[in-house]
Amino acid sequence: MNILPMKNVPAAATNWRLVGIQCFVIFHIIVLVCCGVPGSFPLKDRLLQVLNPYALRVGLWQYWNMFAPEPFSLNAYLEAEIEFADGTKSVWSFPQMSKMGYFEKMCSERYRKWAVDEIRLDEKSLFWADTARYVARKAQTDPSNPPHIVSLRRHWHVIEDPNLAFVPVGSRVLASRFQTYRFYRYEVHAEDVL
Amino acid sequence: MTLQAIRNAWNDFFFTKQPVTGIAVFRICFGLVLILNALFLLAGFSDWFGSHAIVQYSTALTFTGTGRINLFSILGASDSSAYLIYGTHLIAIVSLTLGLWTRSSAVVAFITLVSLHHRDPLILNSGDTAMRVVLFLLMFSRAGDAFSLDRWRALKAGTTTGPPAFQMPWAQRLMQIQICIIYFSTACFKLQGEAWTNGTAVYYTTRLWDFERFPVPFLNDSLVAIRLMTWASLAIECALCSCVWVKEWRNTVLILGVLLHLSIEYSMNIPVFQWVMMSLLVAMVAPQDMDRWVAGLQGRWHALPAPLEQPVPVSRRRKAA
C-alpha cells in the first residue's frame, strides 16, 4: 500500500501506523454508512449483523428520520388520572409545550420528547410502568392518602390535509374535538412512592 | 480511471496534509454547542438521570442491552454518580472548547456523553445522535493544534514555534462523510413521504403546537409559499450531501444550509438541534478557505502576515520523489 511517510518517525513504524489509520478509516466508513444510510439491501443487512454490536456498544448507532417520511400530522398530549386510597381522583398533566413561555419551552423540550414522541406510542410500553410510578410519586402529597391507581391517557387531534381544510397557522382546536384513549392502568405499590 | 488513480484520490482526500485552522474553529463552535446542550440537560436533570429518574436504570438496561459504554454500570445509578458523570462531562467539554488537554478532554467528553445517553434513551433527539457520533470522530482529530491552550502552552514552553503545522485530515474527512450521511439519509426518508413530495410537509410542521416558536406571518398561511418552502428545504438537504463536494458550489451550499437551519431555529422550538447542525457545517468548510478567512481576520485585527505553506497532494509528492 502506498502511503505518505511522516517526519521524525522510523519508516517501519510510520508505515504500520498509517496502515492502522487506513484500516480504521475504511472500517468506520463502512460502519457509518451501514448505520446511517436508510433502506434495507442484502449487503448492508449482512454487514449490519456483524457491525451492529460494535456500533451499539460504542455509541455510533444513528437514525435520521426527522419529520420523515411523513411529518407528524397530529397534536397530542398525555394526562394521568390518579385514584387515591380514599377513592378521590385527580388529573396530572404531562408538561405541555403549548402552555409554556419561550424560555421554559426551550428547557422542557425533552419532556415533550419523552411523553409525546415516546410514552404515547404502544411500541414503548416497556416504559409505561416507570412512567406511572413517576406520576404516583409526583401526585403523592398526603402520606395517609397515597395514590392507588394511575391511568395514562393520550389525547390527540389529527391535522387534516390542507387541500381539504386549510387551517390558519396558530389556530387552536377545542378540547372537545380531541380523541381520548386510556392506554395503561397501574396499581401503585407502597414501595413505588417511597 | 485506473486503480492507481483511485488510490491517489483516496490518499489525497484523507492524507494530504491540510491547515488545522478549520478543525480548530470547528472544535470551538462544536464545544460551545455541547456546553449549551449540557446546560439544557440541567432542566429536569433528576427526572432523567437521578436515582428516582422517570426511567429506572433496570428498564433502561432492558431497552439498550448490556455491554455498552456506560459509566452508570460501574458507578451505579445513584444521584451522586449522575452528578459526578455530568460534572465530569461539563468540565471535559469546557476544556475541549478551550483546547486544554484537547484529546483527553474529547475522550472524557465522549464517554460521559454516551453514558448519559445510555442512561435515558427516551429523551434523545437527532441532535444528540449527531453530537455523540461527531464527538467520537473528533477524538481522533488534531483539533487542539490551533486556537487552543495546548498550543499556547507549547509556544510558551518552546516546544513548538511558528504557525501550526499542517496535518492529515482523515478524522475531519470522516466527520464530513458523517455529515453527508445525515443529510442524505434524511433526504431519502423525506423523498419517500407524500407530504414532502406534494409540498405540504411544512404545513403540518407549522401546525404542531408543541413546536411553535416565533410567528411567520403570511408565508405559513399561503399554500404556494408552503410548497416552495417544503421543496426548498428538501433541495437544500439534497445539496448538502451532494453539491457540497463541488468546490465552486461548496460555500454557497453551506450558506444555504445555515439559512435553512436559522429559519427553522426561528420558527420552531427544537432546541440545540439547529445549532448542532450549523456547527457541523463549519467542519465542511474547505481547510484552505477557513485558513484564508482566519488569516484575513488576524491580519485585519493584528496586522499579522498571513501564513504559510500550501498543501501538496500525496500523489504529487510521490511523483516528485
Helical H segments across chain B, by residue range: 3-15, 21-41, 45-49, 57-64, 72-75, 79-98, 102-119, 126-138, 149-157, 170-191, 194-197, 201-206, 223-241, 247-267, 273-282, 287-302, 314-320
Q: Do A33 and B129 touch (CB under 8 A)?
A: no
Nearest CB to A126 within list B48, B63, B317: B63
Q: What integer is the mean pLDDT of A118-129?
A: 96
pLDDT digits (tens, 9 = 90+) for B80-125: 999 999 999 999 999 999 999 999 999 999 999 999 999 999 999 9
Give the range among A53-57, A111-115, B119-123, B293-297 with minimum mean pLDDT.
Answer: B293-297
> Do strands A147-158 and A89-93 pair parallel, antiparallel, or not at all (unpaired)?
unpaired
The total number of residues shown for chain A amounts to: 194
> Do strands A74-84 and A147-158 pair parallel, antiparallel, or not at all (unpaired)?
antiparallel
Beta strands in A37-178 (DSSP E): 74-84, 89-93, 147-158
> Do strands A179-187 and A147-158 pair parallel, antiparallel, or not at all (unpaired)?
antiparallel
Task: Identify the three-state secondary structure at position A181.
Answer: strand
| pLDDT above 80: residue A176 | no
Contact of A64 with B126, CB cutoff 8 Å: yes
**pLDDT score at A122:** 96
**pLDDT score at B282:** 97
Binned at pLDDT 50, 70 and 90, residue B242 comes out as very high
Q: Do A4 and B184 touch (CB under 8 A)?
A: no
**pLDDT score at B317:** 57
ipTM computed for the complex: 0.90
Minimal Cα–Cα distance from B147 to chain A, Å?
A: 23
Q: Which residues in chain A touch residue B55, judged by CB atoms under 8 angstroms apart?
A: 127, 130
Q: Which residues in chain A touch residue B56, judged by CB atoms under 8 angstroms apart?
A: 130, 133
Minimal Cα–Cα distance from B303 to chain A, Å?
A: 32
Q: Which residues in chain A touch residue B209, judged by CB atoms under 8 angstroms apart?
A: 75, 97-98, 172
pLDDT digits (tens, 9 = 90+) for B212-230: 999 898 899 999 999 999 9
Binned at pLDDT 50, 70 and 90, residue B134 comes out as very high
**pLDDT score at B309:** 52
| A106 vs B305 pLDDT, higher one | A106
Nearest CB to B178 within list A3, A32, A118: A32
Q: Do A170 and B212 touch (CB under 8 A)?
A: yes
Q: What integer is the mean pLDDT of A7-13?
A: 56
What are the sequence ranges of the domains in chain A? 11-58, 74-193
Q: Chain-wide mean pLDDT for chain B?
A: 93
Interface A–B counts its CB contacts (< 8 A) at: 205
Q: Do B117 and A18 touch (CB under 8 A)?
A: no
**pLDDT score at B313:** 66
| A138 vs A10 pLDDT, higher one | A138
Nearest CB to B185 within list A37, A116, A129: A37
pLDDT digits (tens, 9 = 90+) for B273-307: 999 999 999 999 998 899 889 888 888 776 544 44
Q: Which of these, B258, B252, B247, B248, lies nearest to B280 by C-alpha position?
A: B258
pLDDT digits (tens, 9 = 90+) for B154-177: 999 999 888 899 999 999 999 999
Minimal Cα–Cα distance from B25 to chain A, Å?
A: 23
What are the sequence ranges of the domains in chain B? 19-167, 172-301
For the entire predicted model, the pTM comes to 0.92
> Do strands A74-84 and A89-93 pair parallel, antiparallel, or not at all (unpaired)?
antiparallel
Cell of B48: 432523567
Q: Do A97 and B210 touch (CB under 8 A)?
A: yes
Cell of B176: 464530513
pLDDT digits (tens, 9 = 90+) for B1-59: 789 999 999 999 999 999 999 999 999 999 999 999 999 999 999 999 999 999 999 99
Q: What integer is the mean pLDDT of B194-202?
A: 96
**pLDDT score at A1:** 42
Name the phi and psi angles at A167, rounded to 5: -100, 125
Q: Do A72 and B204 touch (CB under 8 A)?
A: yes
Minimal Cα–Cα distance from A23 to chain B, Å?
A: 12
**pLDDT score at A5:** 47
**pLDDT score at B81:** 97
**pLDDT score at A13:** 63
Q: What integer is the mean pLDDT of A154-174?
A: 89
**Probe site for chain B from A3, A4, A29, A137 (most B CB atoms < 10 A):** A4
| A12 vs A159 pLDDT, higher one | A159
What percentage of chain A has pLDDT greater than the value 90?
A: 76
Binned at pLDDT 50, 70 and 90, residue B232 comes out as very high
**pLDDT score at B318:** 55
**Probe site for chain A from B36, B37, B114, B189 (most A CB atoms < 10 A):** B189
